[in-house]
């Protein structure tokens, strides 16, 4: 779900639409997502940019585990397809930047975030 922090990836100018990200949140986590805001996030690790893009924030209703917020973003792969990320709000993941950091930690061998 993330990247080797030494591999930089920039958010594409063609970010996933809010509707696509809403669908990703709902399909991955359940419940009904409502868009709240889009937040620019620039994440650096060891002096290298590992993410520079927009994270969409959604309120959740009816989540099976009681979560009330989720963070989602995507980027375009070299083949033109999109890779979507969705992270549930927790006491440790309390904002868009922390969601991106959690995705990086969750899959340190991944190609991109």
How far apart are alpha carbons 79 and 88 in whole angstroms?
A: 28
* Whether the model pTM is above 0.85: no
What integer pLDDT is reported at residue 113 of this predicted model?
55
Using the predicted structure, report yes or no on whether residue 5 has a pLDDT greater than 90. no
Average pLDDT of span 27-42: 95
Q: Which residues pair with 54 in a beta bridge?
A: 40
Q: Which two tokens stand for residue 68?
A: 């009330």
Write the pLDDT tens digit of every residue in 48-99. Answer: 898 899 999 999 999 888 899 999 999 888 999 998 999 999 999 999 999 9
Q: Which two tokens stand for residue 8?
A: 């930089």
**Pairing status of strand 69-76 against strand 82-88:** antiparallel
How far apart are alpha carbons 66 and 24 in whole angstroms?
A: 18
């Amino acid at each position: 779900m993330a990247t080797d922090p030494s591999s930089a990836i920039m958010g594409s100018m063609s970010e996933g639409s809010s509707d696509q990200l809403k669908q990703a949140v709902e399909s991955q986590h359940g419940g009904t997502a409502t868009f709240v805001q889009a937040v620019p996030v620039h994440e650096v690790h060891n002096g290298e940019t590992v993410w520079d893009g927009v994270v969409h924030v959604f309120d959740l209703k009816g989540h099976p585990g009681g979560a009330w917020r989720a963070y989602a973003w995507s980027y375009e792969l070299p083949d033109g397809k999109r890779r979507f990320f969705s992270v549930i709000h927790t006491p440790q993941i309390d904002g868009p930047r922390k969601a991106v950091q959690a995705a990086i930690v969750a899959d340190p061998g991944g190609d991109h975030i």
